[in-house]
Amino acid sequence: MNIFMLLLIVIAHLKKHSMTNISTLERLTKENPLDYGYWNDLGIEYKKQGRQKDAIISYLNGVNAIFQSIYLQLKNSKDNEFFGVESLGDKANHKFWLDRVIDCITAYSKADGVSNIRFPNGQTAIKFSDQITYGGLLFFDQENIRYVLPNLIHTFADCLTWNKIYSTYLNNIGVAYAEKGDNDKAREYFRESIAFTPKGTDYPNPIIGLRELKD
């Protein structure tokens, strides 16, 4: 199953609330750490019990699962579309997703035995890309160094907007922070959720959440 099929999976919601459901979901997340649907359901159940801190942790684990799933599908891909810098749009103004991308790339690079990671940009990135027959190269390894090209970052951003799963997670985190009374953090996640809501998708939740925050 490729990443685009994975991102089209609809997040399932549990019909009933009970401690048994939470226990089951906790077990399922341990058994299936890359299944971001389970992490979302667990976060929802924690939130129902007023356990906002646990809900946020669960949502963050789900976000990490999304990024890992994307990376694992892309790491050996050779046939990729080339994304220009302008393709990021408003996404470039948000840090949360970019930090997750870098963390994910760094962790898996080390797991692959690569000791050094570099993120060339500007003319250096263009020089590396010009040496390749396919302009959509995401990264390449040379002398135990992994050169992560800008196109990998842009491709991640594109994958995150194939449907509203990522924006839903961000909205849920924003709601949990708002209920904890941390409006600054809530705004951060609501705004990024809006930036990553796919164009043409009817998903007003983060917009409403942002409007309802008290100064």
Q: pLDDT for 45-99, tens place per residue?
A: 999 999 999 999 999 999 999 999 998 888 766 556 655 555 678 888 899 999 9
User: Residue 147 has what pLDDT?
Assistant: 85
CA–CA distance, 120 with 61 (Å, rounded to integer) = 29
SS3 state of residue 105: helix
The contacts of residue 187 (CB under 8 Å, 6+ apart) are 174, 210, 213
Q: Which residue has the tokens 């549990």?
A: 14
SS3 state of residue 10: coil
User: Residue 59 has what pLDDT?
Assistant: 97
> Angle 86-90-91 (CA atoms, 0-180°, nearest 5)?
90
User: Residue 5 has what pLDDT?
Assistant: 39
pTM: 0.81
Which helix (H) or strand (E) segment is 104 a member of? helix 96-111
User: Residue 115 has what pLDDT?
Assistant: 82
Q: What is the mean pLDDT of each run of 10 residues along the chain (215 residues)?
A: 38 38 94 94 93 96 94 74 65 92 91 86 56 61 85 87 94 95 95 94 94 82
The contacts of residue 47 (CB under 8 Å, 6+ apart) are 55, 172, 175, 176, 179
CA–CA distance, 37 with 46 (Å, rounded to integer) = 14
* Domain extents in the chain: 89-151
